[in-house]
Amino acid sequence: MPSALVIALVLATSPFGDGNDLEDTRASVNVPESADFYQVLSRDLATHFPAALVPTDDPRNFELLGKRPGSGSKHLPQFYFWVRLADGKSPDNRGVLVVIAHRKRFEFQSFDFERTLRADKHRLRTFPTNVRPKIKDKLGRKPRSPAGK
């Protein structure tokens, strides 16, 4: 019989788990298998972007901005990605994609182009605090230093 320490380590090393059985179950039921993850994401984005812009299922076109999904509507796993559309060479072809995983597919929530994020400095406040530093890094902005330093 496995010890409590072994069980805790298994839960802690789950790709999205933090030991919260309910969250882990929601992720496992709704998130596509890791082998199909980017293929399913690319397929589901094809319904929201013109064919010429849809990123291929190459993982280099999708950079996950958080270490684990957040909790979206109905407590479904919500992912934040930095995405390169088409060639990704222009601020009009890069940005932040927000999707919710539901029943092994992705539901499009929003896409903020890099150009829009650069123009509207307040837009960053709409993203969770754990992904803001990575977005700022992509935009070439320096993160704020902690108060008093």
pLDDT tens digits along 39-51: 898 888 888 888 7
Helices (H) and strands (E) in the chain, counts: 5, 5
CA-to-CA separations, 76 to 79, 100, 107, 120, 129, in angstroms, rounded = 10, 6, 10, 28, 19
C-beta separation of 32 from 100 below 8 A: no
The residue among 101, 122, 97, 119 whose CA lies nearest residue 110 is: 97
CA-to-CA separations, 16 to 11, 31, 47, 115, 118, in angstroms, rounded = 9, 10, 26, 31, 30
| Full-model pTM | 0.73
Q: Annotate 61-83 with b (16+ C-beta within 10 A) or e (fewer).
A: bbeebeeebbebeeebbbbbbbb
pLDDT in tens, 78-137: 999 999 888 788 888 899 999 999 888 999 999 999 999 999 989 999 999 999 999 999
Query: Can you give the pLDDT at residue 9?
Result: 27
The answer on pLDDT for 10 being more than 50 is: no
Percent of the chain whose pLDDT exceeds 70: 72
Query: Can you give the pLDDT at residue 23?
Result: 52
Letter for the amino acid at 74? K
The residue among 51, 70, 54 whose CA lies nearest residue 62 is: 54
The residue with tokens 């829009």 is 116
pLDDT band at 22 (very low <50, low <70, confident <90, very high): very low
